[in-house]
Structure 1
Amino acid sequence: MRLNEITFTDAKPVEGYGPGFFRIGGEVYSGPVLTGPAGTGPWGGLDDAAALTDLAGRIDVLFVGTGADIAHLPETLQTQLEEAGLGIEVMASPAAARTYNILLSEGRRIALALLPV
């Protein structure tokens, strides 16, 4: 078996999560969180489209974690993200975090918006 060290560039990996929190890059964040090439911080949740559309042009794919279970995005938010030219992948937050970490380790231009489990 061959092991390779992973370098995450400026973006931080998701290291863990639990009821109401995420641990990203060694720091704990309560509630919804947004992480990507611009850093990590609180996110206003599904009503905060501006924070997500600001990523247009800087990323290729936005992963949206909808909590413990997969759910559809509100139609208005979906439309705003598509009009901004963002590629969107919606899944449960645990799956979104794992997928984000894998693609981050490959050096992809991605971001992650998570609702707590």
Structure 2
Amino acid sequence: MVELRKDVEFAGPIITGFTASGFKSGDRRFEQGLLISPEQVIGWEGSALDSLNLAEILSSLNLSPRPEFLLLGSGPAMLQPPAAFRREVEAAGMGLEVMDSRAAARTWGVLRAEERWIIGALLPLA
């Protein structure tokens, strides 16, 4: 397992490491995908870019006000989501940043240290 160092203090959950297929946040392990907000972190059964559902992601995280953008971890490799999903995020008034899930996990901490009001949806690593 890989551990990530946390040098900056801020409120809310942080991704502290990786497992074979998932993530670690504090002492909790998530062997699947992960949904994360400034207020909570939950396991996510999302497994494919072509089945992304923004309404499901937003209702699972239930964040108010609406986040600035969605940080999407596309799994073990950087792949773009379907154009329809991109349009759905844009129509919701949010930005979309896509990268592989490991990079997204590391970027989460940087953006939260800047106190950005964001959410993350990270597909599994395997």
What amino acid does structure 1 have at the position aligned with 2:38?
P
Q: Unpaired runs of 5+ in structure 2?
A: 1-6
SS at match of 2:16: strand
Which ranges in structure 1 are unaligned for 5 or more consecutive residues? none
**CA–CA distance in structure 2, aligned partners of residues 86 and 96 of structure 1:** 17
SS state at 1:103 partner = helix
Q: Percent identical across equivalent pairs?
A: 33
- Aligned-partner SS, 1:64: strand
SS class of match (1:19): coil
Q: 1: CA distance between counterparts of 2:84 and 2:64? A: 17
Distance of aligned partners of 1:76 and 1:64 in 2 relative to their CA distance in 1, 3 Å threshold = same
The alignment's TM-score, normalised by the length of structure 1, stands at: 0.82
Report matched runs for 1:34-73 at 5 Å: 34-45=35-46, 46=49, 47=51, 48-54=53-59, 55=63, 57-73=65-81
RMSD (Å) for aligned C-alpha atoms = 1.9
| Higher-strand-fraction structure | 1
Question: For the residues of structure 2 that align with 1:76 and 1:56, how far apart are their CA atoms?
Answer: 24
How far 1:63 sits from its partner (Å)? 0.6
Using the alignment, how far apart are the partners of 2:90 and 2:58 within structure 1?
A: 9
> In 1, Cα distance between the equivalents of 2:15 and 2:66?
20
**1:85 is the counterpart of 2:93:** yes
Counterparts of 1:26 and 1:110 in 2: how far apart (Å)? 22
